[in-house]
């Protein structure tokens, strides 16, 4: 069997970690790129360190790598266009986010800026890839969780552990479709090899749609704690946010986050399910998904 080789940008990210394991299990050789310096001795992995400008250390190999997976933020990918050209990339799977839709009308200007950044980055990637005859697939996951490393469910868990309750704004009945990072990695792997799919974008959703409040109940259950959900009005939520943002971990919390608790952020993922025969798990939290006690 010919040696199979894949380039992986963002190998130490949450999804990247799952992708790396999957590639190794399927006997791929991986050139893994990270801003951290690794000296891991694995014959299937060649580590390359990149700096903040996208430059990478002297190549430890001299070969073409046609297949690529990108789990770094999509707005950083243009910094690595020269890298992709140097390795002769021919097909790449890129992660974006459904936040390009959900935050586009946010009351928070910084969140609207994030949405616009995603939109413009997707356009820039598509234009560059097409011009260089590189096949691209963009996947837009919904709320990613897993390994206690995400910025959504894991932060909710840390808050509950620290304060013993969780605040919600109003009924908190907005719909959600959380997707496990491992399922995101599976989708990336599948679509990389679905050569009949070319130059397309997909929304990548979890296997279950539930309300924000129901999601909070699941988190309490995973922590083996009785649910203590405090329903508070918007004006009081603003006070809570103002106070808690003095703590470094919660400095990015905004009232816009509270407002979205009552907004439906669900998407149709049937096209990807049909094209890939991909059916992610329901919203499940296992012991491995719990964050550390720090």
Which structural domains are found in the chain, ordered by start?
5-286 (3.40.50.720)
Strands 229-232 and 166-169 come out as: parallel
Which pLDDT does position 108 carry in this prediction? 83
Longest dimension (CA), the chain: 64
CA–CA dist 65, 69 (Å, integer) = 11
- H-helix or E-strand containing 237? helix 234-244
pTM of the model: 0.90
pLDDT score, position 2:
47
Half-sphere exposure of residue 283, counting CA atoms within 13 Å on the CB side?
23
Q: How far is CA 238 from the centre of its chain?
A: 28
- Over the stretch 142-181, which tens digit does the pLDDT of each residue have? 999 999 999 899 999 999 999 999 989 889 999 999 999 9
Extract the tokens encoding 24: 């190794």
93 vs 188: CA distance, rounded Å: 7
Which pLDDT value is given to residue 35? 77
Q: Count each helix (H run) and each strand (E run) in the chain, helices first.
A: 10, 13
**CB count in 10 Å sphere of residue 85:** 12
Q: Report pLDDT for 37.
A: 66
* Residue-level pLDDT at 233: 80
pLDDT average per 10 residues of sequence, the chain (294 residues):
81 94 94 78 85 54 87 95 94 97 88 94 97 97 95 92 91 96 97 94 97 97 96 78 70 76 93 91 94 67
């Amino acid at each position: 069997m010919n040696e199979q080789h894949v380039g992986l940008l963002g190998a130490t990210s949450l999804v990247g970690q799952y992708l790396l394991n999957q590639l190794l299990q399927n006997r791929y050789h991986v050139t893994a790129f990270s801003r951290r310096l690794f000296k891991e001795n694995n014959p299937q992995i060649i580590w390359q360190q990149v700096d903040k400008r996208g430059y990478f250390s002297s190549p430890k190999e001299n070969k073409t790598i046609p297949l690529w997976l990108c789990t770094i933020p999509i707005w950083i990918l243009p910094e690595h266009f020269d890298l992709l050209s140097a390795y002769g990339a021919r097909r790449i799977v890129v992660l974006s986010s459904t936040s390009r839709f959900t935050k586009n009308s946010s009351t928070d200007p910084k969140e609207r800026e994030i949405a616009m950044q995603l939109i413009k980055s997707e356009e820039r990637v598509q234009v560059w890839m097409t011009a260089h005859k590189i096949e691209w697939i963009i996947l837009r996951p919904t709320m990613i969780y897993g390994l206690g490393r995400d910025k959504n469910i894991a932060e909710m868990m840390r808050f509950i552990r620290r304060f013993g309750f969780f605040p919600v704004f109003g009924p908190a009945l907005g719909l959600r479709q959380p997707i496990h990072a491992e399922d995101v990695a599976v989708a990336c792997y599948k679509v990389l090899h679905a050569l009949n799919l070319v130059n397309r974008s997909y929304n990548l959703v979890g296997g279950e749609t539930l309300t924000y409040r129901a999601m909070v109940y699941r988190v309490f259950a995973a922590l083996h704690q009785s649910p203590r959900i405090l329903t508070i009005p918007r004006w009081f939520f603003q006070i809570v946010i103002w106070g808690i943002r003095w703590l470094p971990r919660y400095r990015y919390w905004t009232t816009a986050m509270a407002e979205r608790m009552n907004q439906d952020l669900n998407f149709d993922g049937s096209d990807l399910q049909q094209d890939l025969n991909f059916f992610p798990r329901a919203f499940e939290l296992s012991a491995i998904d719990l964050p550390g006690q720090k």
